[in-house]
Amino acid sequence: MKRLALGLTLVMALTACGSGGGSTDLRVLLDWFPNPDHLALYTAQDKGLFAAEGVSVELTPPANPADPLKLVAAGQADLGITYEPEVLAAAEQDLPVTAVAAVIPRALNSLMAVGDSPVKSAADLAGRTVGTAGLPSDDLYLKQMIGDKPVKKVNVGSNLVASMLSGQVDATIGAYRNIEGVQLKHEGKNPLIIPVTDAGVPQYDELVLVANRDKLKNDSGYRDRVKKFIAALGKGVEAAKKDPAAARTAIQAKMSDAPKEVLTEQVDATLPLLDNPRGFGRMDPAGWQSFADWLQAGGITKKKITVGPELVTNDYLPAR
C-alpha cells in the first residue's frame, strides 16, 4: 500500500503536481508520490481531460499515506486516493468519507524477497525478519500467510526495496508486484513475489477515490465537481490504454529521475491492472462487506462495519 518512489524527491513531487495557473476547483491528495499506479490521473491531466469537463485539478502527494483520509474528512482536501482497508478502518472511527470510485480495482500488495534471501516461500518466513510499513493490515496479511509462527517484524517505512537489498530484512510485506516487483526483476535480483491474495487474503480494491460524505450530502456544486472529476478519470483510463506511450510520457514528467526502461516496464505491468470487469470505477459493496468482516475477524477493526451507500457508492460514476 505504499510506494517506493524510485529516488523521487519530495521537492520534485510537489513542483509538478498542479494543473497550471488560475483557481483550483478540486485539490486531490494522492496516496503517495506520483508513480505508475497514478497513470490514469496524470494521463487525464496531461491530455486536458479534467479541463474538458470544466474542472481545474491539483494532484498533490501527501506528507504521510494516512493523510488523504484525514484531510478529506476534515475538508482540507477535496478528494483523496487511499486504500480499501484504510477506508474500512476509517469507518470504525466515524470519519465522514465515502469511497466513490475504484482506481486500481484489485489487490497489489505482495510478499517479496530478493533472490539471495533464505525466504523462498511463505513457509520460510518463520523465524525470519520481515519488513513492513507499519500498517495493521500488513500484519494481518502476514498472519494469514504463516499463522502464529514467530517472525521478527521491522517497520521500514517506505524503504521496502532498500531494506531487502541491504540485508536488513529477509522479506517484506507491502510492496507491489507492478512497481517494486518490476524494479527488482529489472535489477536482476530474481525476486520472490507472492501476491497476498494468493496466500488467502480476500480480493479487495487497492486504490480508491474518497470524497467528503457531508459535502456530498449538502453541497450540490461539490457533487457536480466530483462527478466531472470521475468522468475525466474514466477517460484517462481509456486514453492510457489506447496510447501507452503518451501515458508513459505523462508519468515520466512527474518521475524524471526514474530510469526510463524501468518505468516503461512498470507502466506496461500497470495498464492491465486498470481494467475493471464491473466497468470503470465500479466497486462491489458485497465484496467490501466480506473484506470488512475479514478485517474484523482478524482484529484490525473492533466492531462490525456495515458497508452501505454512505461508505461505498457507485452513484457518481458515469452511466454504463
Asked if the structure places residue 19 within a domain, the reply is: yes
One-character DSSP codes across the chain: -----TT--HHHHHHT-S--SS--SEEEE-SSSS-GGGHHHHHHHHTTHHHHTT--EEEE--SSTTHHHHHHHTTSSSEEEE-HHHHHHHHHTT--EEEEEEEE-S--EEEEE-TTSS--SGGGGTTSEEEE-S-HHHHHHHHHHHTT---EEEE-TT-HHHHHHTTS-SEEEEEETTTHHHHHHHTT---EEEEGGGGTPPP--SEEEEEEHHHHHH-HHHHHHHHHHHHHHHHHHHHHHH-HHHHHHHHHTT-TTS-HHHHHHHHHHHGGGG--TT-TT---HHHHHHHHHHHHHTTSSSSPPP--TTTB--TTSPP-
CB atoms within 10 A of CB 147: 8
Domain that residue 290 falls in = 10-106+205-297
Digit-coded pLDDT (tens) for 184-234? 999 999 999 999 999 999 999 999 999 999 999 999 999 999 999 999 999
102 and 113 housed in the same domain = no
46 and 113 housed in the same domain = no
Residue after which a domain boundary falls, among 199, 232, 256: 199
113 and 102 housed in the same domain = no
291 and 231 housed in the same domain = yes
237 and 222 housed in the same domain = yes
- Contact, 199 vs 122, CB < 8 A? yes
Residue after which a domain boundary falls, among 184, 199, 214: 199
Residue after which a domain boundary falls, among 199, 219, 249: 199
Mean pLDDT rounded to a whole number for the chain = 91
In terms of phi and psi (left: phi > 0; alpha: psi -120 to 50; beta: otherwise), the region of 252 is alpha
40 and 187 housed in the same domain = no
CATH number at residue 25: 3.40.190.10
pLDDT for 24: 67
Q: Kindly state the percentage of the chain with pLDDT values over 70.
A: 92
93 and 239 housed in the same domain = yes
44 and 170 housed in the same domain = no
Digit-coded pLDDT (tens) for 171-198? 999 999 999 999 999 999 999 999 999 9
81 and 226 housed in the same domain = yes
- Mean pLDDT, consecutive 10-residue segments, the chain of 320 residues? 42 39 78 93 98 96 87 97 94 96 97 96 95 85 91 90 96 94 95 95 97 98 97 98 96 90 96 96 98 94 95 95
Strand order in the sheet with 152-155: 152-155, 129-132, 171-176, 109-113, 192-195
102 and 129 housed in the same domain = no
CA distance 3 to 236: 21
In DSSP terms, 28 is beta-bridged to 59, 79
Q: How many domains does the chain have?
A: 2
